[in-house]
Amino acid sequence: MTKKFRHIILTFFNIPKFNEDPFLKDNPLIRKILSQEWLEMRLKLFEEITLPSIIKQTNQKFWWFIMFHPDTQKEFKDKFQKILPKNASCIYDLNWQENIFKKLYRATEDYFLFTRIDSDDAFHKKAIKNIQNSFKKISKKQNEDFIINFKAGYKLFLKNQQLYQFYPPYPAHFCTKCSKLRATRDINTGWNHINIKKKFDYFEIKNKRPYYIETIHNTNLRNSLDAGDIIEKFSREKSKKILKRKFGIKLTLENIKDIYFKNEIMDLQQSSYQKNYEENNKPPRIEIIQRLINKIKAKNYLEIGVKNCNTFNKIKCRNKIAVNPIINNRKKDFFSRYYEATSNKFFENYEKLLGKNKLEVVFIDGLHTFEQSLKDVLNSLNHLDNKGIIIMHDCNPQSKAAACPNQKEAKKIEGFNGNWNGDVWKTIVYLRENKKDLNVFVIDQDQGIGIISKKTENEKKIKELKIKPGDLNKLTYLELEKNRKDFLNLKNKEYLEEFIKKL
């Protein structure tokens, strides 16, 4: 049975979303996004790119809410209001969720569809139609909240007015959240779209026709030409035709030049945000893996569990091997080899594939279960150089939900926040109990980074477990909670520094 729904488009015009306090008027970012110069620049982008793509939608059955900082200048508010279509409304309130809820709370539909589009990006003219058609098909078998994402998109590089078709390495920020009526107060598209698969049921539409445009210019912070696989680059003339026919966009060269070359407008935003974003969002595992590779001068690196190559593509090593049943975002370079297979199948054919080459650094981030993670470690040990190191992710779950061995069941447990580590931690306990020839410890960082290496003859004996864990399959999260430090041989960052120095 097809479920009734109401479709909401959300655009954040000048409300900061990047850990900036919107109430602090002395904040440099807030001052900039409230300035007349910034507003006029952003309005040009909005009028040139976003607005025509929404007006040209073949399906106009949606509401469009555009959020502004409440201190936005009155003259600008009046000017902006005049250019909007009838199904669009402006909200000048930091508590925009509650404001929208008041408009919707009497709705009788089964679902709300929330789709985000930024004020400098665009949708294909059939995007809304296809989002709603996809919802109708998926919702027949779905009873919980879920995400719809169209994989293929364009990047529009304003400097040369050219389009690049690409596939992002993570869910695009244009994805649609389909929420049941009971959840309307949680009208939030400020989610971390990169990790959204872990929090909701996720449906990816592998569309051949790109359905959105990410615009690259000097005033946006996070989009770049090197984020994702570039499939095709279009000439300037071809790009203009695509923009006009598929998106309803006709760029004005004079306006674009004016926007592109005024770099000083966003200097403060770039410096304050970019620094925080890079520091807070670069996973420590990438730095740890690279440091270990550099320290032991490793030539052979294996990574198990590389679906989108988010870690793999950032690692530098002479020979890199990626293993996963499905691998996206491959880099075409001399150093990388990709095997689309289960890790078990890969190791069965190891000698045929790699001969007698020994592994020097292995990163395991595959299926998050005790059984499979243990197999991956033991198989890796069979081909590990004497000085080699195995690194494991997800070794230190912080909740019962995160530690549940079944991801679908984990989502039903109270306290689930999107992080799913499974019972990988039991592999650490098993190795500490049964493999006395190994050094095994976990760094208390990045959801638990396990480090496994072979002991040398002169090495001090690692402290034994104080208790015998017994049948690991019956071991519960409650027991881990009580004995976390002892079970995992949990260490801090300073210990890791000492470990690397001694290699």
What does the DSSP assignment read for 412-429? TSTT--S---TTTHHHHH
> Strand pairing partners for 146?
178, 201
Measure the CA angle with vertex 407, ends 141 and 443; round to 5°: 155
Hey, which bits of 290-376 come out as E strands? 300-304, 319-323, 336-339, 359-364
Q: Are 380 and 365 in contact (CB under 8 A)?
A: no
CA distance 340 to 127: 32
Least Cα distance to 287 among 314, 306, 305, 310 occurs for 314
CB atoms within 10 A of CB 313: 18
User: What's residue 386's pLDDT?
Assistant: 93
Q: How far is CA 280 from CA 22, 275, 290, 416, in A?
A: 20, 9, 18, 22
Query: CA end-to-end span of the chain, whole Å?
Result: 62
User: What's residue 498's pLDDT?
Assistant: 92
User: What's residue 17's pLDDT?
Assistant: 53
Mind listing the domains of the chain with CATH numbers? 5-280 (3.90.550), 282-502 (3.40.50.150)
The pairing of strands 438-443 and 490-491 is parallel
> Strand pairing partners for 442?
450, 490
For 54, the 3-state DSSP assignment is helix
Per-residue pLDDT for the chain (503 aa), expressed as one digit of tens each? 678 899 999 998 987 654 444 445 556 667 777 888 888 888 989 999 999 999 999 999 999 999 898 888 888 988 898 999 999 999 887 777 777 777 776 677 888 899 999 999 999 999 999 999 999 999 988 888 899 988 888 989 887 888 988 777 667 778 898 987 654 455 554 455 556 776 778 888 877 778 999 888 755 544 444 444 566 789 999 999 999 999 999 987 555 555 554 443 333 333 443 344 344 445 789 999 999 999 999 999 999 999 889 899 999 998 999 999 999 888 877 788 999 999 999 999 888 778 888 999 999 999 999 999 999 999 999 999 999 999 999 999 999 999 999 988 988 888 777 789 999 999 999 999 899 899 999 999 999 999 999 987 555 555 566 556 567 778 899 999 999 999 999 999 899 999 999 99
What's the alpha-carbon Rg for the chain, to the nearest Å?
A: 25
Q: Starting at the earlier edge strand, list the strands of the sheet with 490-491.
A: 336-339, 319-323, 300-304, 359-364, 384-392, 449-454, 438-443, 490-491
User: What's residue 206's pLDDT?
Assistant: 74
Distance of CA 289 to the CA centre of its chain: 20
User: What's residue 168's pLDDT?
Assistant: 73
Residue type present at position 31: R
Give the pair of three-digit tokens for residue 146.
């879920």
CA distance 66 to 93: 10
User: What's residue 342's pLDDT?
Assistant: 94
Residue type present at position 465: L
